[in-house]
Structures are given as structure tokens and as C-alpha cells.
Amino acid sequence: MTFSEENYLKTIYHLTTFLDTEISTNAIAEKMATKASSVTDMLKKLAEKDLVHYKKYQGVSLTENGKLAAKMIVRKHRLWEVFLVEKLDFSWDEVHDVAEQLEHIKSEKLINKLDLFLGNPTEDPHGDPIPDAKGNIVKIEKQLLSEINPQKKTICVGVKDTSTEFLQYLDKQKIALGSAIEVISKEDFDASLLIKVNGHELVVSNKIASNLYVQLT
């Protein structure tokens, strides 16, 4: 596959995990900042390779071959993120763009040895699951902080938004994976939350709370 084909597969995979339905060409075009006509041309190529099911005006879904191929791209990306953070001291807001380049390395042997070297991690630095060499994923139960009722204690286990701006905001507030977050109260007007993070009280907007994954403790 070309880099472009891999990027399309990964995009469709990510959209599918959120929507759980056939994906429209417009949704793909918006996600990849390209024209719908360009998406259509690429989907035809991927369909010829038995990587997607595609019918005009009916959306697109991944074939079994396409799902596995997409998971392997995601696997490489997330393993490289772990490597960059744990072994090269990158911060979690720096690794995405670098991993975007590294994910296109073709050597399966290299990726499997990287996985072993890192201790077979099941999550990347943002809390996203890492597929194993067969495409299996260990899923964890999690909720968005915005869905948690007051007087509940949680632990941060992931982020929905992995943008540099959001991750840097979390760093400023000393919120990271593993941080203890207690919901003290919820504002009726704008759904903002008063929370306690590692003993420190903080007000966060609904937008912030809607991008933090937590587990109840």
C-alpha cells in the first residue's frame, strides 16, 4: 500500500470506531481535509484491493482485510508513541506528528521487536488501546468525565482530544493518565464541573470534561 492508502484506511477505521456505521465520503473528506471527489477515487482503488466495501451514495466500510490492515497501521503508530515518550523523553503532546511518519515503516519484524522491547504495552501515552500482532485489542471500561455524577471519584485513563493545545492545557493543570479526579459539583447553566485533581480544586468546562476519559474508583 502507498502512504496515502494507509492514511485512508486509518481514517476510515477511526471514524468507524466512533460512528459504528458505514462512513460517508463527505465524512472522510472532512476528516482528511480533501475533496469528496478525491475520496471517491481512492475508495475505488481500495475496493479493488478488497480493503473496503464501497458503493456510490451508500457509504464505505472496511472489509476484514481492511480492518486488519488498519489495525496494523494503528498498532505501529501507537507503539512508536510509547517508544518516543518512554525511551526518548518526548512529551505526550509532541509524539503524534512524529508517529505519523514512523507508522509507514513496513518491517513487521521491527515492529514486533519494538513491541517486545517496550514490554508489550496495551495502551499508548494517551490511553488508546494498542492492537497486538494479530489485531486483537484489550478494551477497558471508561466514561467521559462529563458523564460522571457529583460526589464520584475517578481516575483519568485517556483523552478523546489528542491535539497539542488540549494536552498542553492538561499539563498546566497537572492532569495526566492516572490522575485522581473527584467530581465535586456540576453547574446546571453550562455543565461545567468543579473537580478535585490530586487534592487541588479546579473548574473545568464541559468541553474539557467531554474530552477526558475516566474510570470510577
Here the CATH number for the domain that contains residue 29 is 1.10.10.10
Q: Please indicate, yes or no, if residue 134 is contained in any of the structural domains.
A: no
With respect to residue 67, please indicate whether it lies within any of the assigned structural domains.
no
Q: Please give the pLDDT value at position 195.
A: 97
Q: What is the pLDDT of residue 20?
A: 64
Taking 70 as the pLDDT cut, the residues of the chain under it are 19-20
pLDDT recorded at residue 56: 83
**Overall residue count recorded for the chain in this entry:** 217
Range of the domain at 55: 3-62
Question: Could you say which of 33, 62, 91 is where a domain stops?
Answer: 62
Q: Quote the pLDDT of residue 104.
A: 95
Dist. CA 122–CA 131, nearest whole Å: 7
95: in domain = no
19: three-class secondary structure by DSSP: helix
Q: Which of 186, 175, 183, 185 is nearest to 126 (CA)?
A: 175
Give the pairing of strands 152-159 and 200-204: unpaired
Residue 103 lies in a domain: no
| Per-residue model confidence (pLDDT) at position 80 | 98
